[in-house]
Structures are given as C-alpha cells and as structure tokens.
C-alpha cells in the first residue's frame, strides 16, 4: 500500500511519519517548497524533540517528501482551514485545492480521507464533487470518509497512538477501508459515525465543549474576585462532587481548535448563542489580565513590562491566537504580520517578550535576562516548565519592580511572595 498525505503541517507530518514508521510507503506532499526542502535535509520544523526524532526516522525509511501530489492507494488530506473574518465563515480554499490535487491522480479503488477540521457537510458537499470524475463515482469506484485528528500539541505521538478515532464514511465499504487503515496504529477504539457530516460535527462539538467549559471557569474567576475568594481553591473543592468537573481559569484560549473551530458550527440559525458568549468571555480575559496589572501598579505610564510566554499554552511552540501575545499587544507595540496591530496600546513604556518555546521568527523575542532586567512587572502568559523552575531571588535581583501577574498558575505564589513579590493571579 502507498499513502499520500496532503499537507505537512504539524498534524500531517506526524500522521505521515506514523504510517511510515509502521512500514507503509508514504509520500508527503506540500505546496510550501521550504517545508519540502527542510524535510529533504532531514530538518523538520517541530518543537517536540521526540516527534522531531520520530519524523527523522520516517524520512530515513518510508517517508518521501514531494513537491507534487502522487498516485497512491490512500490520500489523507491534512491541510489548514483558517477562519475568514471578513466573510465570517471557514476558509476552505486549501481543502478545495487539495481535492483538485487528489482528483488529478485518483484511480479506481483508491481511498480519500479528510482529517482537516471543517464545517459539517464539507466532505460530502464540497470535497466529494471536486474529486468525482465522470469515470469515478464516489462510493462505487472511490472510498471517501472523514476522520478528525484529536491530538494535543506537546503530546502528539502519544495521542496519535492512543486516542480513540471517529470514522464517518459515505458507505459501509468506505468505513471498512478507513477502519482497516487506522486500526493497526492505535490502541484506542475506532467509533463509527452515521456519516461524514456527523463525524465533522462531533469534532467541532468536542472543541466547543472545552471552549464553553473554560469560559465557565473564567466566569467563576471573575465572580470570585468580587467575593474575595481564591477561585482555584473553590474549584478544587467543587470538583470533589462526583458529577462536577470544572476546568481551570486562565488568560483566555488560543491555538486554532478552541477559539476558532467552534465558529465552524454557525449555520445562521442563532443556535450558537452559548458558543458565541463563550468566545466573548474568553476573548476578554487578556484585558482582565491588564486590569490586574493596573490594580497592582499606580500607573502604567513609562513602565516596563516583561511578558514571559507568548505561545497559546504551556510547553508548545504555537503562537496562534495566543492570549500571552494578545496581552503583549495590548500593552505596547508588539505586532505580528498576520495579526492586527494595537493602535497606541495601553502602555507608553515598553514591553519585552521572552519565550523559550516559540519559534515564530517574526517576533522580537529576547532572552530571559534581557526581558526582566529593569522590568517594573512580569506577566506569565504561558505555563512553560521553564517558568515553574525559575528562582524568584534571581528574578528579583534584575527587576526594578516587584509585581508579578500569574494568570496561568505556573509559579508557587507563596514562594514568590516570600521573596518580596506582589503576585496577582486568576
């Protein structure tokens, strides 16, 4: 069997490597020539050391990078699906392009699997017509289905191998073909959805549930402040109930899955009201972090603030929709090409950003020492392990001020307080 993986981003490359390291011949296709060049050189651009080594192993055996789509028994589409803010809808340009690429090399008996997160109805309503040809009918000559990836960055390999899978095929033969492909690679169960649209819906439902649950935790955090309550302690107590499992609050949600994917459910009916509210609650949390800083410092004017951690969560390199980066933008002149610059900012002083994990070359990252040297305040924007291990005495010796805002629960508050810091948390 030969597999062609279309799209060698974080998930596509990991998926291609998984099959390759299990003995399958895999062609990895991407339109980005820089990605292909790096793979030919054996230098994948990933932040997880275990995954990087795993990809390099695949490149040495069965994974072949390609600048063009190739004929294969199985085509797996793992391309991005950004959100079109202007038109308030998912941008399926990459999915459509991938479909056309597949159609050009498709043969009778081939299987096509869409893994990209998409609005319900995409597999059958958009992809199927694109890959159909007069001599190849979907279901009759070609297997087609949808199976979403559900891995968490930072733990990619483990979750690829152990997470349950959902398969939605256009017919029983398609389901059977897709199940037989994934069954040898995962210790998790493979669940069959009624059709591809149901499988697409389930992936969005999973992400929306977490987004709403985090918004509830953040709402509790805001209320607890008004009552003078330690919200994390209260949540821990509440979770002793066997049917209660409240998540942890924080500075917002980032990445693609939680803040963006739930919006793919919108169908114009108004039924997404709860999801929309959750997005607003989580989207306002970076501003709340700024208010915590304002409460701790008499004036932000001419103050220097170090934001430590601008990836969207701890121990990952991805900065997409990062709350920490949003906080830095609100404070000053930190901008990224693909994000809206903040006009003026909240602070006429300066903002420095440090992140030991971020790999975005467009950001002016500085060393930890440079970031905290002379700083009036520090804000932790991501719960990296490196930050949990910081010595407060070392940080204090470099800072001018003594204010620390920790909305991600990464430091030992009592320990830092003992060293003279005024620590504010969510």
The reply to whether CATH 3.30.450.20 applies to domain 284-425 is: no
Dump pLDDT digits (tens) for 90-119: 999 999 999 999 999 999 999 999 999 999
CA distance linking residue 213 with residue 283, whole number of Å: 14
Same fold, 2-193 and 204-282: no
**H/E element holding 113?**
strand 111-114
Dump pLDDT digits (tens) for 268-307: 788 999 999 999 999 999 999 999 999 999 788 889 999 9
CA distance linking residue 238 with residue 80, whole number of Å: 38
Please compute, for residue 390, the number of CA atoms within 13 A of its CA located in the half-sphere on the CB side.
26
Whether the predicted pLDDT of 223 surpasses 70? yes
For residues 123 and 168, the answer to whether their CB atoms sit within 8 Å is: yes
CA distance linking residue 191 with residue 266, whole number of Å: 25
CA distance linking residue 273 with residue 267, whole number of Å: 11
Whether the predicted pLDDT of 339 surpasses 60? no
**H/E element holding 28?**
strand 25-29
Query: Can you say whether the dihedral through the CA atoms of 214, 220, 225, 226 is positive or negative?
Result: positive
Whether the predicted pLDDT of 71 surpasses 50? yes
Q: What amino acid positions are annotated as catalytic residues?
A: 203, 257
For residues 355 and 310, the answer to whether their CB atoms sit within 8 Å is: yes
Look at the block and give the residue holding tokens 């992936």: 203
- CATH number of the 204-282 domain: 1.10.1040.10
As beta bridge partners, residue 168 has 146
Whether the predicted pLDDT of 45 surpasses 90? no
Dump pLDDT digits (tens) for 368-400: 999 999 999 999 999 999 999 999 999 999 999
For residues 365 and 388, the answer to whether their CB atoms sit within 8 Å is: no
CA distances from 17 to 7, 26, 62, 63, 377 (A): 13, 8, 8, 7, 43
Whether the predicted pLDDT of 26 surpasses 60? yes
Concatenating the DSSP letter of every residue in 147-180 gives: ------TTSHHHHHHHS-EEEEESSHHHHHHHHH
For residues 270 and 204, the answer to whether their CB atoms sit within 8 Å is: no
- CATH number of the 2-193 domain: 3.40.50.720
CA distance linking residue 300 with residue 294, whole number of Å: 7
Domain positions in the chain: 2-193, 204-282, 284-425
pLDDT at 349: 58
Chain length of the chain: 426
CA distance linking residue 112 with residue 133, whole number of Å: 14
Read off the pLDDT of each residue in 156-181 and give the average, rounded to a whole number: 95
CA distance linking residue 218 with residue 252, whole number of Å: 8
pLDDT at 334: 54
CA distance linking residue 76 with residue 101, whole number of Å: 12
pLDDT-above-70 percentage for the chain: 96
Per-residue pLDDT band for 2 (boundaries 50, 70, 90) equals: very high
pLDDT at 341: 34
Q: Hey, what are 169's tokens?
A: 């095929």
Residue in 259, 250, 276 with CA at minimum distance from that of residue 211: 259
Given its phi and psi angles, is residue 322 left (phi above 0), alpha (psi -120 to 50 degrees) or beta? beta
Q: Hey, what are 254's tokens?
A: 């980032």
Alpha helices by DSSP H, 44-115: 49-60, 93-105
pLDDT at 30: 96
Dump pLDDT digits (tens) for 112-145: 999 999 999 999 999 999 999 768 889 889 999 9
Per-residue pLDDT band for 86 (boundaries 50, 70, 90) equals: confident
Residue in 148, 263, 276, 279 with CA at minimum distance from that of residue 203: 148
Q: Hey, what are 247's tokens?
A: 């998540």
Q: What is the pTM of this model?
A: 0.89
Q: What is the residue-averaged pLDDT of the chain?
A: 92
Q: What is the dihedral of CA 47, 53, 54, 55, to 10 degrees?
A: 70
């Amino acid at each position: 069997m030969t597999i062609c993986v279309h799209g060698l981003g974080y998930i596509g490359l990991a998926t291609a490597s998984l099959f390759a390291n299990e003995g399958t011949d895999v062609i990895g296709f991407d339109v980005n020539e820089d990605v292909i060049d790096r793979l030919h050189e054996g230098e994948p651009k990933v932040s997880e050391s275990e995954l990087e080594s795993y990809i390099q192993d695949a490149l040495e055996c069965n994974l072949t990078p390609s600048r063009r789509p190739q004929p294969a028994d199985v085509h797996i589409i793992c391309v991005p699906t950004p959100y079109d803010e202007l038109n308030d809808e998912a941008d399926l340009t990459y999915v459509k392009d991938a479909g056309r690429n597949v159609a050009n090399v498709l043969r009778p008996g081939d299987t096509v699997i869409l893994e990209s997160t998409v609005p319900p109805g995409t597999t059958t309503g958009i992809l199927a017509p694109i890959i159909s040809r007069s001599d190849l009918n979907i279901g009759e000559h070609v297997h087609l289905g949808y199976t979403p990836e559900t891995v968490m960055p930072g733990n990619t390999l483990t979750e690829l191998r152990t997470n349950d899978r959902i398969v939605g095929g256009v017919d029983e033969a398609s389901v059977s073909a897709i199940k037989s492909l994934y069954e040898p690679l995962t210790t998790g169960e493979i669940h069959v959805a009624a059709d591809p649209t149901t499988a697409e819906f389930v992936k969005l439902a999973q992400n929306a549930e977490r987004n709403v649950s985090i918004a509830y935790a953040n709402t509790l955090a805001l209320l607890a402040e008004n009552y003078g309550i330690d919200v994390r302690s209260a949540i821990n107590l509440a979770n002793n109930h066997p049917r209660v499992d409240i998540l942890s609050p924080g500075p917002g949600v980032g990445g693609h899955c939680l803040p963006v994917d739930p919006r793919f459910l919108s169908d114009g009916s108004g039924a997404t009201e709860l999801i929309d509210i959750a997005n607003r609650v989580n989207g306002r949390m970076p501003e709340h972090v700024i208010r915590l800083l304002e409460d701790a410092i008499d004036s932000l004017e001419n103050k220097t603030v170090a934001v430590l951690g601008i990836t969207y969560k701890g121990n990952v390199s991805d900065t997409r929709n990062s709350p920490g980066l949003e906080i830095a933008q609100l404070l000053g002149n930190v901008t990224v090409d693909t994000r809206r610059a903040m006009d003026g900012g909240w602070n006429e002083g300066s903002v420095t950003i440090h992140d030991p994990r971020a790999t975005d070359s467009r950001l002016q990252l500085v060393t930890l020492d440079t970031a905290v040297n002379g700083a009036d305040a520090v804000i932790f924007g991501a719960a990296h392990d490196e930050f949990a291990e910081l010595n407060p005495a070392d940080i204090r010796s470099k800072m001018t001020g003594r204010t620390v805002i920790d909305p991600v629960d990464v430091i030992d508050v009592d320990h830092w307080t003992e060293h003279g810091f005024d620590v504010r948390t969510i």
